[in-house]
Amino acid sequence: MSVIVFSLLSGLVFGLGLIVSGMANPAKVLGFLDLAGHWDPSLAFVMAGAIAVGVVAFVVARRRTVSFLRQEMRVPTDRHIDRRLVGGSVLFGIGWGIAGFCPGPGLVALGMGEVKAAVFVLAMLAGMSAFELLERRSAKLQAA
């Protein structure tokens, strides 16, 4: 039960961070991605603030096999860089660049009651579903 409560709390604090930092606003994100225009470096400061805290947390997390709530520690250790990783990330970056939304801010803006954010989130879910279908198909083909 406490796992569910802390999931909710983590999502809430994450969302508050996106609002406070201005990153729930696509116009501000695009201001960061527009290097050749009037550049707004704010997003880099958001990353710096988050990573400064994250570094300490992950040093602790990596030394443990179970979390403080006795959950299995599921921290990825894969170091392999492949075409899926880079190709997928490039597609994501193009989508991010045309509208200024990545998954978190899309969900937060949905919570602001923005209809446009709802359209983005629905399309994102459709994209994720397409991925699932393609993965299942290729798993079937490999099994056959």
Residues of span 78-97 touching other proteins by CB under 8 A: 78-81, 84-97
Nearest CB to other proteins, comparing residues 98 and 144: 98
Asked if residue 139 binds other proteins (CB under 8 A), the reply is no
- Min CB(87)–other proteins separation in Å: 6
Specify whether the CB–CB gap between 12 and 33 falls below 8 A.
no
Q: Which two tokens stand for residue 90?
A: 């490039």
Give the other-Cβ count within 10 Å of 12's Cβ.
Answer: 10
- Min CB(144)–other proteins separation in Å: 20
Query: What track of x and - describes contact with other proteins for positions 34 through 73 (by CB under 8 A)?
Result: xxxxxxxxxxxxxxxxxxxxxxxxx-xxx---xxxx-xxx
Specify whether the CB–CB gap between 18 and 24 falls below 8 A.
yes
Nearest CB to other proteins, comparing residues 12 and 141: 12
Nearest CB to other proteins, comparing residues 62 and 137: 62
- Min CB(139)–other proteins separation in Å: 11
Give the other-Cβ count within 10 Å of 94's Cβ.
Answer: 9
